[in-house]
Structure 1
Amino acid sequence: MTTAVTLPTEVMSQEEKSLGQVNRQMIVILDFGSQYSELIARRFRETQVYSEVLSYRTTAAQLRKLNPKGIVFSGGPNSVYDKNAPKCDPEIWSLGIPILGVCYGMQLMVKQLGGEVTTADLAEYGKASLHIDDPTDLLTNVEDGTTMWMSHGDSVQKMPPGFDLLAHTENTPCAAIADHERKLYGVQFHPEVVHSIGGSALISNFVFQICNCKPTWTTEAFVEEAIREIRAKVGHKRVLLALSGGVDSSTLAFLMHRAIGDRLTCVFIDQGFMRKYEPERLVKLFQEQFHIPVEYVNARERFLSALNGVTDPEEKRRIVGHEFIRVFEESSKELGPFDYLAQGTLYPDVIESADTNMDPGTGERVAVKIKSHHNVGGLPKDLRFKLVEPLRKLFKDEVRKVGRSIGLPEEIVQRHPFPGPGLSIRIIGEVTAERLNILRDADLIVRQEINRRGLYNEYWQAFAVLLPIRSVGVMGDKRTYAFPIVLRIITSEDGMTADWARVPYDVLEVISNRIVNEVKGVNRVVFDITSKPPGTIEWE
């Protein structure tokens, strides 16, 4: 479910300039269809070295122009012997740039450089103890017997010429290998996942000892460069900003206001799918406390009418995205001419909105679309605005750091993520005024009780979902036939993966009792205990 960018030759210099100015030291991750490619990028950024994901089809010539300090080959769903297995440009091996192959990336390295990969006698999934044969270089300070996360069916049978064994597991004879002279490294496990206890040390070794990077990718550096790029792109033009009140758009508003001042106009479109009391509070907060003017547009009836009878979640997102832009266009005509639209699009938004990525030569599927985001997949083709998206390459935790650094108050910095289509995708099936009112009241109770016990910052998200079914209940000796509410409370570091939160039973009990007693139309509360994957955080 990843999206990777191939840099065409004709735009390489522009892309190189964009990336190079932010941080001339960078690590490139070549994506071979892994679920974790962007997670790899995030882990490398935690070392304060910039990293970015590009397509495995990126050529050696393009990489040479970008001049990265290191390259990582991601894992992937294929076997290297599959008919349409993705391959890299073989010239990459001769660039003289350190390379780390992860899982499929290691197997591809072995196969292309003259080794052998075969189907393993025993597939290895989950935790495994790593036994270190060479504790230097890549595995410096990685404890012998440490836990690493495995997920593979193929295994290296014979190393290529010039490679040495670094580590093994009980089922994998070649769990880590290296050609020290050419600085080519391969690991069969996934050091990027939190389950790999020694993963952070390995990544740090690759970044600093092998690639000789310096930790210059900082929040301050990003802010300075983002402001320069905004000013260079926008010039003296005016910018319309889609303000939602979340940490993404609020950070964007502060950043844009610092960059261009009064040439920024924030518009809050109340599409009727916000949580209870949020529209009023948002406008007051920005105007009276932050002194950033906000134009309020009430479009509740318009959006609700547009979704009349619509049940498909992708269609909901498309319609909400379409109407969102149209309302902005209409508002811009009333407020004055605008050339640019600023959006708080993040890297995960781009990732999950990726269209199926097919290799034009082989038809090989590399990435799968999970769901569209209203500010990515829902944009109309005839959009007349030019987009400004300074946060597009950041993860949520990085946005929060940026927000804090430019003065965003903690109540917004720590605000739980809220989808652009709002409650419309937390109502499964058709969206109606009645269902919106029910969900708003239930969602308010969830947030109140989580806040009351000081648990809000412990969770990535805590919200309610309304199901379009009814079940029988009994209240006051009378039969009821009402909706169920699903509690979705999860923990996560970046939204890419998530786990259901182990909420204290007494908290769940109070939330359930309050919803059933206070929200008319609900007679049952259930708790979602599904992780991501296999589920997603939102239900739609």
Structure 2
Amino acid sequence: MQEKIIILDFGSQYTQLIARRVRELNVYCEIHPFHSVPELDSSVKGVILSGSPYSVRDEEAPVPDLSTIKGKMPLLGVCYGAQFLSQYFGGEVKPSNTREYGRANLAFINKDNDLMTGVPDQSQVWMSHGDTIVNLPDNYSIIASTEDVSVAAYEVKGENTWGLQFHPEVYHSTDGKTILFNFIVSICGCAQDWTPDSFVDSTVASLKEKLGNDKVVLGLSGGVDSTVAGVLLNKAIGENLTCIFVDNGLLRKNEYQNVLDSYKHMGLNVIGVDAKQEFLSELAGVSDPETKRKIIGRVFIEIFDKEAHKIQNVKWLAQGTIYPDVIESVSVNGPSATIKSHHNVGGLPEKMNLKVVEPLNLLFKDEVRRVGKALSISPALLGRHPFPGPGLAIRILGDITEEKINILQEVDHIFIQGLKDNELYDDVWQAGAMLLPVQSVGVMGDERTYERVVALRAVSSTDGMTADWVHLPYEFLAKVSNDIINKVKGVNRVVYDISSKPPATIEWE
């Protein structure tokens, strides 16, 4: 049974970051909403309480049931979690008199305490709270303080319970990883044996047991998630897996054939479907972004369903769902109200009456790549930038025509190939070009032109939740702009998008 740490989520923006830090220690963990405490069997080695946008003094403040946890197994409260453990059990939390946001340094550390072992004097920590603990319950004792915050960290005497008013999971807490190591490895006794290799072995074994001799169909996109899911399933069930790769006419230049060729070399059983005309005829004259997404999703389901029914006795639909999608569906506040409808296979299980298998639904994106590396998938496939499910449809602002697709494919190809040729591709999380619904005046030779404008976009990110624009060299941007204008008929102006997310999004639609 895989040992694990449970994180109870109170809605903090940092909860997924706690999970990442735990997993970086090669320890498996799961995030659960605070109001849905899972059954705590012998595999659970400890529990972490997350931060929260709420104050513990709010009437609607989240209150977890810790009756099976506190005093019975190792427990660490972070920010809101620490304040809850104080307020609810006899202490007092009040609004802060001094600023408690941003960097601070630990002026006092009880280095004899198991949680603070190896944390140096003046260690920098990251505060982010408007309330502060002013009185601790009688059996609690302070183990760290800053100049302004008396109770930066505490322990509960006679229990394996601790609280931190700072965030050890964020980069700015320089010794946060040491503190988390102390809790997870030293206190909880986790073995640090959850590695990409162990994940592959255990997942392949469980897929063999779960699927037996059943047939499985998987929709491939050429992206990292579906590729890794396909290779894992192939390792488990071999020829009983059939992969379907649909060309919606909105892929990058030559991508359909390039992706099919790369899969052939991997031994995957892939059916390629050229459905360009079906998608383009349905999209004709449609400009609204969400309508475009819905049309693409519907047509994909129809085509995938038709192709899948040509395979006899299929029992399962495989999906490349990853952990952030799972967390979203069971979040503290329920699923997000405005998720863009870009998940290619949304609605397929119901339509096809198939059982669903999701071999990657425990992993974050960076972990999927590490598992792919353990499976010996080529770095070129694993290092591919994310590409939106609706493809170039949401990078062509306005209605879709074959002429616009051809223009954007050429522009995008010059930009992406330029990044690769100049060894900039791996420094960028995602890049692409947008075809704008405006035309501008230009001069080519002695003639006045009135042609299209394209915007180039390149961002850095870890998970796409936040992103910053990449400061590409001016010389590179100048050359790419020049190449696009000279080589792509119909474009006479190139601009570079320097917006971050938030407030902007990565895609333009």
Per the normalisation by structure 1, the TM-score is 0.87
2:48 to 69, 72, 80: 72
Q: 1:490 to 1:181 in 2, by over 3 A?
A: farther
**Residue 199 of structure 1 corresponds to which residue in structure 2?**
176
**Residue 508 of structure 1 corresponds to which residue in structure 2?**
477
The CA deviation string for residues 175-234 of structure 1, in whole angstroms up to 9 with x for no partner, is 222225312222222222223222211211111112111111011211111112212222
The CA deviation string for residues 411-434 of structure 1, in whole angstroms up to 9 with x for no partner, is 112112222222223334433333
Q: Tell me, in whole angstroms, the C-alpha distance in 2 between the residues paired with 1:129 and 1:393.
A: 35
Check if 1:320 corresponds to 2:296.
Answer: yes
Aligned residue for 2:366, secondary structure, equals helix
**Residue 361 of structure 1 corresponds to which residue in structure 2?**
none
**Residue 362 of structure 2 corresponds to which residue in structure 1?**
393
Contact 2:94 2:131 survives alignment (8 Å): yes
1:85 to 42, 54, 61: 61
**Residue 54 of structure 1 corresponds to which residue in structure 2?**
32
Aligned residue for 2:55, secondary structure, equals coil
Amino acid at match of 1:251: V
Check if 1:465 corresponds to 2:434.
Answer: yes
Check if 1:382 corresponds to 2:351.
Answer: yes
Aligned residue for 1:97, secondary structure, equals coil
Check if 1:450 corresponds to 2:428.
Answer: no
Aligned residue for 1:121, secondary structure, equals coil
Alignment of 1:338-487 (within 5 A): 338-351=314-327, 354=329, 358=333, 369-375=338-344, 381-476=350-445, 478-487=447-456
Amino acid at match of 1:338: V
Per the normalisation by structure 2, the TM-score is 0.92
C-alpha displacement at 1:350, in angstroms? 3.9
1:227 to 163, 180, 204: 204
Aligned-residue sequence identity (percent) comes to 47
Q: 1:271 to 1:133 in 2, by over 3 A?
A: same
Contact 1:322 1:380 survives alignment (8 Å): no
Q: Tell me, in whole angstroms, the C-alpha distance in 2 between the residues paired with 1:455 and 1:102.
A: 38
Contact 1:133 1:167 survives alignment (8 Å): yes
Q: 1:376 to 1:239 in 2, by over 3 A?
A: closer
Contact 2:329 2:335 survives alignment (8 Å): no
Check if 1:120 corresponds to 2:96.
Answer: yes
Contact 1:125 1:151 survives alignment (8 Å): yes
RMSD, matched Cα: 2.5
C-alpha displacement at 1:315, in angstroms? 4.1
Contact 2:317 2:349 survives alignment (8 Å): no
Check if 1:537 corresponds to 2:506.
Answer: yes
Contact 2:70 2:161 survives alignment (8 Å): no
**Residue 337 of structure 1 corresponds to which residue in structure 2?**
313
**Residue 38 of structure 1 corresponds to which residue in structure 2?**
16
Q: Tell me, in whole angstroms, the C-alpha distance in 2 between the residues paired with 1:237 and 1:366.
A: 32
Aligned residue for 2:98, secondary structure, equals strand
C-alpha displacement at 1:453, in angstroms? 1.2
Aligned residue for 1:168, secondary structure, equals strand
Which 5+ residue runs of structure 1 have no aligned equivalent? Answer: 1-20, 359-364
C-alpha displacement at 1:57, in angstroms? 0.8
Q: 1:160 to 1:446 in 2, by over 3 A?
A: farther
C-alpha displacement at 1:140, in angstroms? 1.9
Aligned residue for 2:498, secondary structure, equals coil
Q: 1:180 to 1:477 in 2, by over 3 A?
A: farther
C-alpha displacement at 1:310, in angstroms? 4.3
Q: 1:525 to 1:102 in 2, by over 3 A?
A: farther
Q: Tell me, in whole angstroms, the C-alpha distance in 2 between the residues paired with 1:55 and 1:306.
A: 41
Aligned residue for 1:468, secondary structure, equals strand
**Residue 3 of structure 1 corresponds to which residue in structure 2?**
none
Q: Tell me, in whole angstroms, the C-alpha distance in 2 between the residues paired with 1:533 and 1:324.
A: 30
Q: Tell me, in whole angstroms, the C-alpha distance in 2 between the residues paired with 1:227 and 1:241.
A: 16
**Residue 277 of structure 1 corresponds to which residue in structure 2?**
254
Contact 2:452 2:493 survives alignment (8 Å): yes
